Structure 1
Amino acid sequence: MDPGHPLKALLQLQLGSDSYAVIHLPYILASLTAESLVPSSHSSKWTARINSLLHSKAPDARWAGLCIAHKSSVLSKSMMIECAQSWIGIALPVLSKKESAPIICASLRLLRVIFSAATDVPEFQRQVATPNVSKFTAALIPLAEKHVDVELKILILSTLALIIPLYPTPHRTSHPALSTLCLGFLNGNPFKPPNKVLTSAASRLYAVLHFTGGKVGAANLWRKSVDDTLTFGWTSFLSLRSTFLVDGRLPTTQAGAATEEPLLSIPLNLDRLRLTIVVLCDLLKTTTHRPVQVPLGPLTKFALALLSCTTDDKVDQYIDPGVRAMEAALTPQIWKSACSLIVCLANCVGHHLSSSLTRIVTYITFHLEQHLTSAERLPFLNTLQVILAKCHPLHSTVVVTRLARATLPLISVVLAKQADVRDTENDALGRSKKSKKRAREFEGDEIFKISREVVCSTVEEGNELLAAFSVVRLVLLNPNLSPAMQSISCRVTLSVLLTLPQISPASLSPDLKLHPLVLERVQELSAELGAGSTGGMSKTLGLVVGASLGNTHIYQDLEVLLHPRLPPLVRSLPFVESLSLFRAEESQEEADACESLGLIPSEGKSHTPDIVTVEPPPVPALPLSNKSPAVPVVAQIPVAQIPVTPATSLLARPQQSSQPPPQHSEPGEAPVLSPPPEKSSHEAPAQVDMPMLIEEDEKNEEMPAIDLGSDSDSD
């Protein structure tokens, strides 16, 4: 005998008595390994000690024996096959007796391993597993219905969901009882919050009951389960919209539902609708022996009905205002259920959902255009990420352009606006907005202003910002996006790329991990924009390189930009001449779109602040100061020459030729373009210091007037 064998030490010390086995059970389970259970001279003594614990009269000793047997079965398949017959005879009757919950759970786990771990041994399956598995299921069904322990119910439902696909034929006669068991947990409960773990386990069990029909009848049972679940979901949905129009008319109220109390029926039907989505998703994710035809039409119709819900439907007849208020408050939860179903459909059927993609995106875009909270918009953005990636590209230019217009304001929140900054500063200093006193600003003074609002103050807002950038990336990959919106999207993305390094992580979100995530996503998007064509690379390469220094994840994309060794991209992108990266190049359509999206102030508002513009620095270029400007500014030089230090935006207006050039207050400070003061006709214009301009601006100067009266040759 080996004196150093681990089983020998456990048998002599920790398993010396039943009380010792209970006390040292955690150490015993942690000490067991697959190597220690290799067949040896101590194996027979080990199994004999386990059997003595299983036959003990003390409940704690039996519980310890069941736990050790379960651990041994998991680590040693040969030991489990050898002792399975005797262990089944001990553990199976425990399920029908009045035992404590720990003993029942331990017996259940042991039988679960015995029936599922040796499916590759036909003789064991024929002699041991198959004759006992039907008894095992028959004992679990009443136990799940009558026992009050929720954890035990979850264990029973998950065990049945594992066993039924392995032994479908012995469970054919138990199909009605199993179906009734599942539907009892999936019927909804209006009195207490739903236990999502319990209902999820019941849904997974219901999704595998079609295996009991065999290879031929499983497809019919699966389709019947889908149809029954859809009918159940339609009934619950129409009960939640009794005061709203569905397909242009009020839903017909059932005879029994007319007398129900709204305070009970509305929470009940909302829970039933949630369970319907859970069951449908599990049915779509399950496997079948043979291919089945997915009812994509009815499923899509149900999802679109949920997605098209609004709260402003007008009804001619009298309705209870209290019921309507309660149903209107549930609309965001109905949208969330619709998004969950659409995401599951996109993951399961893929591009087959493309036929309904236009309607789905139209509904989602309509909701994004409304005034919703971040928690309400987040499911829509997550749904767009999945369907735009799984389905074919949108063929409608109107829909994809409208989607871009609805998504751009969600990412432009990173760009500070001058009016917002001034209002915040005035509030922080305690001044009135109509005060005529000029605020004295000092360099670096913005660091001590602790009253500035955080861009993403909640977790939902941070997740919304990340999801919005992902949606914008997928929208820019669509070839049917209008050139104007494509130009604006590129400019906003590059503006955010320049602004983010100047924003501290605490100013972006209380969660300091959000800033690097957003910056990384924007850098990847900018690299993709720059890799579209050689002309685009010439304008965006400087920005991408400057903003991505220190980010090792994007070096591969930069290598492709600097040394392209790959063939050009297959997708067709507009040439650089059709993209306006500056306000001076944009068309009237782009200017109107920017104004409607709130990216630039409108012309007619008298309180609109002046637009700040960065002029090209003199040659040689002086370094700009680290002071962040009050608003996003625009550079009037090629993008590759823009310094990355200040927060720069590509959305400000260019310098008008009728205004005098800006004055430099300090050598390293960005010049500010201010409107000229009104002057009378007899007053001489004031002299200003003209800065050194580059050659491009000199070409744009007006030609001096020619005095025909003065002739030098007349003398």
Structure 2
Amino acid sequence: MEAGHQLKALLQLQLGSDSYAVLHLPYILASLTPECLVPSAHSSKWTARINSLLHSKAADARWAGLCLAHKSSVLSKPMMIDCAQSWIGVALPILSVQSTPILSAAIRLLRVIFSGATDVPEFQRQVATPNVSKFTAALIPLAEQHLDAELKILIMSTLTLIIPLYPTLHKTSHSALSALALKFLNGNPVKPTNKALAGAASRLYSVLHFTGGKVGAANLWRKSVEETLAFGWTAFFSLRTTFHVEGQRPLMSMEEPLSSIPLNLDRVRLSVLVLCDLLKTTTHRPVQVPLGPLIKFAVALLSCTTDDQIDQHVDTSVRAMQIAVTPQIWNAACELISCIANCVGHHLSSSLNRLVTCVAFHLEQRIGSSERLAFLGTLQVLLTKCQPLHSTITATRLAKAVLPLTSIVLAKQADLPDTENETSGRSKKSKKRAREFEGDEIFKLSRDIVCPTAEDGEVLLAAFSVLRLILLNPNLSPTMHSISCRVVLSILLALPQMAPASLSPDSKLYPLLLEQVQELNAEMGAGSTSRMSKSLGLVLSGTLGNSQIQRDVEVLLHPRLPPLVRSLPFVESLALFRAEESQEEMDTRQSLGLGAPETEDSAMPDVADTLPPPKPDVAPIPAPTPAPAPIAVPAIPSSLPPPPPIAKPVVSQPTPVVTEPPPKVSYEAPPARIEVDDGDKNEEMPSIDMDSDSDSE
């Protein structure tokens, strides 16, 4: 159907009467397209029908006329410019009506009219400029007095859009607009402020500096940041009256704790929300961000703990309530730090070491999944937006804090067969070996689901994302880098043997985790072209079924970069055997709980004590229970050549004594030695006749 015929059909059928227009309004709005409103013989009839609905005495017909005028203004700019004057004359007086649907429709129509033709100077001078001030003056008392939260959000979002377009016209209304925004940003002692309402008020407050013009906008923005920081500091100190607070003495609040603590906690959240919106807003001219005060406030929120206590007498109930709200303060700190890192980028690198140290400290503690997820998200932003960590100690500590979060996929020591405890009560002379049937671990119900909740699954994925960024850091210690690579490789081997239901009730987590682990292993094997060629099988298995498989195979077959002058370490240099594992790496692995229990074979013959020391076994990493035996880290992946014979490692200092029992090995009988008859040794050497000459013959 042609556009003109479609508009004609709507006018004849769906808009034949006011009641039909209200009844068929959803169909009419869905049928309208920009092609329908192209100038034609039916365009004048269309605008005349809308004006008829706008001047109707029935409230529902006026509402239908406002909706049709709004849709027509969005789809056809020329029609909006032609009819704007008459539509404004109808919509502005409606703002005094207390009917919420009609108010919402009128506000949406006026917002489109005042913001849809800013590139037409004559329209701005004759239509928009004389009416914008009236529009703002009508919206402010309406937002303060009306009870509907959705209408308040619509009003504040409309003001947020209109103020930057007409900053000079709102200069006289700056105080009223500021009071309107701060009314919803002062906190609520009964329940937290509505997030949508607080977000709309915060965004409105973040654009009020435009009323100062191009010269005064920077000063107003800086003043808003300072006032918000002072507001946040006051609320934070009120929440830490029983703790030691660095930099300033805590305030002793005389208010009722049952109301003051929820109120100040809400104020801390709102102050962080306003600071984030102020950092995200735009200005006419460059401004100097007060990065020092912002970082100081963020570190104060992030570094608060539940341990320290002032020397004075404190009310136990007040302290218990302040301890309970501490995790929510951490979440606010993570939100603020992430926003600062996204806004200032590498300018935050000078404070990166301190921030990462605070986050690593919290990850080392026993905290909930929601707090752990917030910390990991903050780490991901910091490690992505800022410069790499220059401190080896900080990078290693962070890796030690994050690696246990990824190793939960592997079986714990409690889930592995404990032969040592079973054989400890037996006599040493007993020759019977404790045996277990293959597949017994399938019937064991001791191991729970790895990620029982959705937050646990998000924590696992976030931990792998952070671990990937840590492994890219050149300052990570070799010991921690080796252990991390071994754990990630063990997880890659263990995941295919694990049922998706044993990982998480959410079936989407397993493929996401497997893809992430495969990509991480592929990156670890892609150090150079020669190293990638040795890791071809690992790369293909890691990218199979992924859209990046063509790129990886192309790089392997046709490298576009020259080979590195210096040779990178081969895979054999990784400490995959206990004999190659240093004492530092062994201690680190055991402290992270990544070692499997070792057992002694009770049926070992006595002659084994006289044999030379055997070759060391592979250092095992725990594996999931569905496998018939614990998954151990292989000495060399299947796609790599076998390693050379293992030699005794050369160290610069005496090797420390290892207290753990030797690994379980199987011995064979020594090869039989060939005995030489001693009688031949005692036989005399025959004499040689020097006078004889064999050549004489």
- Normalised by the size of structure 1, how large is the TM-score? 0.83
Aligned to 1:94: 94
Matches within 5 A, 1:413-452: 413-422=408-417, 443-444=438-439, 446-447=441-442, 452=447
Give, in angstroms, the shift of residue 642 of structure 1.
9.4
Q: CA deviation at 1:483?
A: 1.0
Q: Distance in 2 between matches of 1:361 and 1:614?
A: 34
Deviation at 1:710, TM superposition (A): 5.6
Task: Give the Cα separation in 2 of the matches to 1:454 and 1:571.
Answer: 46
What is the CA-CA distance between 1:421 and the residue it aligns to? 3.9
**Pairing of 1:616-627 with structure 2 (within 5 A):** none
Distance 1:112 1:549, change over 3 A: closer
Aligned twin of 2:81: 81
**Could you tell me which residue of structure 1 aligns to residue 48 of structure 2?**
48
Cα distance between partner residues in 2 of 1:3 and 1:484: 72
Q: 1:272 to 1:627 in 2, by over 3 A?
A: closer
Q: Which deviates more, 229-238 or 566-575?
A: 566-575
User: Identity of paired residues, percent?
Assistant: 71
Cα 1:396–1:637 change in 2 (3 A) is: closer
The residue number in structure 2 matching 1:156 is 155
**Pairing 1:258-407 to 2, within 5 Å after superposition:** 258=254, 260-407=255-402
After superposing the two structures, state which structure 1 stretch, 221-230 or 190-199, moved more: 190-199
Q: Counterparts of 2:573 and 2:664 in 1: how far apart (Å)? A: 31
Q: Is the 8 A contact 1:397 1:482 kept in 2?
A: yes
Q: Helix, strand or coil for the counterpart of 2:28?
A: helix
1:578 CA displacement: 5.0
Q: Is the contact between residue 365 and residue 403 of structure 1 (CA under 8 Å) also seen in structure 2?
A: yes
Residues 453 and 434 (structure 1), Cα distance of their counterparts in 2 relative to 1, 3 Å cut = farther
Aligned twin of 2:646: none
Provide the C-alpha distance between the structure 1 equivalents of 2:282 and 2:247, rounded to a whole number of angstroms: 38
Measured against aligned partners, the alpha-carbon deviations of 1:332-383 in whole angstroms (never above 9, x if no partner) come to 1111111101100110000000000000011111111111122221111111
Q: What is the count of residue pairs matched by the alignment?
A: 642
| Corresponding residue for residue 465 of structure 1 | 460
Displacement of 1:557 after TM fit? Answer: 2.7
Superposition pairs of residues 621-640 of structure 1, within 5 angstroms:
628-637=627-636, 640=639
Q: 1:118 to 1:585 in 2, by over 3 A?
A: same
State whether residues 149 and 197 of structure 2, in contact with CA within 8 Å, keep that contact through their aligned partners in structure 1.
Answer: yes
Contact 1:407 1:471 in 2 (8 A): yes
For 1:216, the equivalent position in structure 2 comes to 215
Distance 1:299 1:390 in 2: 17
Of the candidates 479, 487, 500, which is equivalent to residue 495 of structure 2?
500
Structure 2 counterpart of 1:585 = 580
Structure 1 residue 477: Cα displacement: 0.9
Cα shift at 1:635:
2.7
Aligned twin of 1:231? 230
Return the letter of the residue paired with 2:170.
H
Task: Specify which of 491, 494, 510 is matched with residue 515 of structure 1.
Answer: 510
Cα-to-partner distance string for 1:468-526 (whole Å, 9 max, x where unaligned): 11111111111111111111111111111111111121111111111111111111111
Which sits farther off after the overlay, 338-347 or 241-250? 241-250
The alignment status of 1:453 with 2:448, answered yes or no, reads yes
Aligned to 1:6: 6
Question: Residues 67, 439 of structure 1: CA spacing in aligned structure 2 closer, same or farther, 3 A cutoff?
Answer: farther
Over residues 580-610 of structure 1, what are the superposed CA-to-partner deviations in whole Å (9 max), with x where a residue is unaligned?
A: 244332211111110111111578999xxxx
Give the structure 2 partner of residue 246 of structure 1.
Answer: 245
* Residues 1:411 and 2:410 aligned together: no
Residues in 2 aligned to 1:318 and 1:158: alpha-carbon distance in whole angstroms: 48
Change in CA separation of 1:547 and 1:531 when aligned onto 2, cut-off 3 Å: closer
- Residue identity in the other structure for 1:466: L
CA distance in 2, matches of 1:461, 1:569: 41
Residue 20 of structure 1 is matched in structure 2 by 20
CA distance in 1, matches of 2:479, 2:435: 40
Instruction: Give the AA of the match of 2:66.
Output: L
Cα 1:295/1:470, change in 2 over 3 Å: same
Instruction: Report the Cα distance in structure 2 between the residues aligned to 1:604 and 1:442, rounded to whole angstroms.
Output: 17
> Residues 42, 627 of structure 1: CA spacing in aligned structure 2 closer, same or farther, 3 A cutoff?
closer
2:577·2:618 contact (CA, 8 Å) conserved in 1? Answer: no
Structure 1 residue aligned with 2:33: 33
Question: Which residue is equivalent to 1:477?
Answer: 472
Report the alpha carbon displacement of residue 576 of structure 1 after superposing the two structures with TM.
Answer: 4.9
Question: Structure 2 CA distance, aligned partners of 1:20 and 1:124?
Answer: 34
Alpha carbons of 1:572 and 1:113: their partners in 2 closer, same or farther (altered >3 Å)?
A: farther
Q: Distance in 1 between matches of 2:220 and 2:207?
A: 10
Q: Distance in 1 between matches of 2:385 and 2:176?
A: 39
Deviations 1:90-123 (A, max 9, x none): 00011123x3100001101110110011111110
Q: How far apart are the structure 1 equivalents of 2:135 and 2:20? A: 31
Cα distance, 1:143–1:435 mapped onto 2, change above 3 Å: farther
Give per-residue Cα distances to partners, 1:409-456, cap 9 Å, x unaligned.
111111113432448xx9xxxx9x999999985555555656641111
Structure 2 CA distance, aligned partners of 1:521 and 1:222?
Answer: 42
Amino acid at match of 2:561: L
- What amino acid does structure 2 have at the position aligned with 1:41? A
Classify the secondary structure of the residue corresponding to 1:381. Answer: helix
Q: Distance in 1 between matches of 2:282 and 2:566?
A: 36
Moved more, 174-183 or 375-384: 375-384
| Structure 1 residue 103 corresponds to structure 2 residue 98 | no
What residue number does 2:611 align with? Answer: none
Q: Which amino acid aligns with 1:125?
A: Q
1:635 aligned counterpart, secondary structure: coil
Distance 2:381 2:285 in 1: 27
Segments of structure 1 that go 5 or more residues without pairing to the other structure are 607-611, 616-625, 644-655, 661-672, 677-687, 691-701
TM-aligned CA deviation for residue 575 of structure 1: 5.9
Instruction: Give the match for residue 682 of structure 1.
Output: none
Q: Distance in 2 between matches of 1:252 and 1:318?
A: 15
Distance 1:61 1:354 in 2: 60
Q: Distance in 2 between matches of 1:3 and 1:173?
A: 47
Any idea what the Cα deviations from partners look like across 1:532-562, whole Å, max 9, x if unmatched? 1356546644434345544444452344245
1-side partners of 2:562 and 2:582: how far apart? 32
Residue in structure 1 matching 2:590, options 581, 595, 611? 595
Mapped partners of 1:642, 1:60: distance in 2: 80
Partner Cα distance (1:274, 1:383) in 2: 17
* Corresponding residue SS for 2:72: helix
State the match for 1:146 in structure 2: 145
Match of 1:681 in 2: none
**Maintained 8 Å contact 2:240/2:322:** yes
* SS of residue paired to 1:640: coil
Contact 2:21 2:64 in 1 (8 A): yes
Please tell me the residue identity of whatever aligns with 1:298: P
Letter in 2 for 1:49: R
3-state SS of 1:465 partner: helix
Distance 2:439 2:203 in 1: 59
For the aligned residue pairs, the C-alpha RMSD in angstroms reads: 3.4
Q: Determine if contact 1:483/1:578 at 8 Å carries over to the other structure.
A: no
Q: Aligned with 2:37: secondary structure?
A: coil
CA distance in 2, matches of 1:561, 1:398: 35
Q: Is the 8 A contact 2:576 2:634 kept in 1?
A: no
Separation of aligned partners in 2, 1:464 and 1:402: 19
- Judged with a 3 Å threshold, the aligned counterparts in structure 2 of structure 1 residues 21 and 237 are, in CA distance, closer, same or farther, namely same
Do the aligned residues in 1 keep the contact of 2:4 with 2:40 (CA within 8 Å)? Answer: no
How far has the Cα of 1:248 moved from its partner?
7.1
The aligned amino acid for 1:580 is: A
Shift, 1:51, TM fit: 0.8
The residue type paired with residue 221 of structure 2 is: W
